[in-house]
Structure 1
Amino acid sequence: MTESRSGAGGPLGDDEVPAFWKALGLPGLIDVHVHFMPPRLMARVWEYFDRAGPLLGREWPIRYRFPEEERVAYLRTLGVRAFTSLAYPHKPGMAASLNEWTAGFAERVPECLPTATLYPEPGVAEYVRHAVEGGTKVVKVHLQVGGFDPRAPELDPVWGLLSDAAIPVIVHAGSGPVANGYTGPEPFGGVLARHPRLTAIIAHLGAPEFEGFFELADRYERVHLDTTMAFTDFFSALGSFPETLRPRLRDLGLSGRILLGTDFPNIPYEYAHQLDALARLDLGDDWLRAVCWDAPAKLLDLSPPG
């Protein structure tokens, strides 16, 4: 019999993360929202965080500012058995080369899921098709940073391709931490209305427009949400999660549509705090097991480590 983690008392530290997932009877963790990028781009992202740039709206110190190999080793120490390499463009002409880099990273790091990205630009359908044919398992779309309309005509065949291939799209569509461009439920909701079978993962539970994105999850059976930063002390500045949605959060989690995400390494607190925040919800060990392993393993067709 394993010790329960739901509602466990006392803050969890990173050194206790393996005990957390072992107490749930899990083989480890699957984190769908992890960032690995080409070193120069990652350095620029960290510089933006250091400046508390306008899309952040507040000071945001980076907790895990380690060299790439050390970040991979740290995730392994925590027991993260599978993770993404979410890279994203902020202007045209970046996405194809980012996809080449993330494909190479996944070849070097067996725990990393092959991850791609996109931008509304000439040739987008071709380079996304190339990534899909090359084995991409996840696509990252960042509407807040990219500031583009996901309903752009050049993206329509791409959404159709990803829908047919059942490849999950992790989309930052919420307006947190600062609204920009085409954030909020309506723009991406328009994509889903046209492609209702698209497999989507709404980052950050859609914060701060929780209700609108939960409505999309109710309407479209392939819409999922990730927990990235949700319920952490730092993230509370975006607004409290509505108590009226807690039953839906529980039900969606138990049905396999809430997935663990953290934003590692770009977080200002210990990795363990995200797990602690989820445990404090007291939604039950079955819910935690589904979120931390069962749901992402099923969606991404992953087997337990041998």
Structure 2
Amino acid sequence: MTEPRSDPDVPAFWRVLGLPGVIDVHVHFMPPRLMSAVWSYFDEAGPLIGTEWPIRYRGPEEERLAFLRGLGVRAFTSLVYPHRPGMAESLNEWAAGFAARVPECVQTATFFPEPGVGDYVVRALDAGARIFKVHLQVGGFDPRAEELDPVWGALADAGVPALVHAGSGPVANGYTGPGPFGEVLARHPRLTTVVAHMGAPEFEGFAALADRHDRVHLDTTMVFTRFAALAPFPDALLPRLRDLGLAGRVLLGTDFPNIPYAYAHQLESLAALGLGDDWLRAVCWHGPAAVLGVGNGLGDQ
């Protein structure tokens, strides 16, 4: 497998694998004012960032959409998340509208531990949300909060995944790490979960959760790249990573557009692991398609 060295190389990467494109589970589209505020926070290397983090792809929304389409990203999320109470429901409404006008986007929603959270999560599910973003680091909340217990249960019953930033990278708080979210999974073992950034830097702990719970997945976002914000992945875990990937439990994620390097570098880094073409096919297409419920007909685009 030839590693894609630059963005124009990406279509050749998936064509050589015999894929119709790639599916990215970790992409951010947000209301323009919120996206600008997020970019400003990265520019300032705020306390939750902890390092210089230049945003590479900060063009207008239509430019970013055209870029993904040009690479052959056939389906992607629009991950939104609140940093305080009172934001989540309006973000869900925006994300539903975005997905309605962008056919490649998988409708995304979010939540925060607050009064009424169970009600608006049910409304989001009824409106077609197919994945929920939960950011324990930015939100600074305990996933074991009492008001969230019925929410986790509703997602488990609906079979709708939660993409959870539960790892302590780049900056820890008291609710990150495999312990707190592991308790959620112990109470809701049928919850489909995608662990953002493979749980960096607690790779071992989150891999152990994936071993224990067959609905736990790991997304590749920023892992294996040259960017130093996340801890290096332990070589000793690579055999487990290969097995999980072949089982459809490792999913391509990138953090586009909030990355300080070329989109292709994430794919280059995965190919450089040498885990085989079947593994790359599973990570870049088959696993994400199964979790997001997409794929049929995408090859005709």
The TM-score range, normalised by the shorter chain, is: over 0.9
Q: TM-score scaled by structure 1?
A: 0.96
Paired residue for 1:259?
251
Alignment partners' CA distance in 2, 1:233 and 1:162: 35
Q: Does 1:37 align with 2:35?
A: no
Describe the SS at the equivalent of 2:175: coil
Residues 222 and 230 in structure 2, CA contact (< 8 A), matched pair in contact too: no
The 5 A counterparts of 1:66-105 are 66-105=59-98
Alignment partners' CA distance in 2, 1:32 and 1:238: 19
AA paired with 2:18? G
Paired residue for 2:196?
203
Q: TM-score scaled by structure 2?
A: 0.98
Paired residue for 1:165?
158
Question: Deviations along 1:184-238, whole A, 9 cap, x unmatched?
Answer: 0001101000000000000001000000000000000100000000000004x53
Paired residue for 2:56?
63
Paired residue for 1:155?
148
Alignment partners' CA distance in 2, 1:296 and 1:234: 24
Describe the SS at the equivalent of 2:172: coil
Which ranges of structure 1 fall in alignment gaps of 5 or more residues? Answer: none
Alignment partners' CA distance in 1, 2:57 and 2:174: 29
Match of 2:292 among 284, 294, 300: 300
AA paired with 2:234? P
Match of 1:180 among 152, 173, 180: 173
The 5 A counterparts of 1:13-24 are 13-24=6-17
Paired residue for 2:187?
194
Paired residue for 2:130?
137
AA paired with 2:286? D
Which ranges of structure 2 fall in alignment gaps of 5 or more residues? Answer: none
Match of 1:278 among 270, 276, 284: 270
- RMSD over aligned Cα, in angstroms? 0.9
Q: Does 1:268 align with 2:260?
A: yes
Q: Does 1:240 align with 2:229?
A: no
Residues 55 and 180 in structure 1, CA contact (< 8 A), matched pair in contact too: no
- Give the deviation of 1:239 after TM superposition: 2.3
Paired residue for 1:127?
120
Residues 27 and 304 in structure 1, CA contact (< 8 A), matched pair in contact too: no
Alignment partners' CA distance in 1, 2:213 and 2:231: 25
Across the two proteins, how many residue pairs are aligned to each other? 298
AA paired with 1:294? H
Match of 2:207 among 214, 233, 237: 214
Describe the SS at the equivalent of 1:225: strand
Describe the SS at the equivalent of 2:190: coil
Describe the SS at the equivalent of 2:36: helix
AA paired with 1:246? L
Alignment partners' CA distance in 1, 2:148 and 2:223: 29
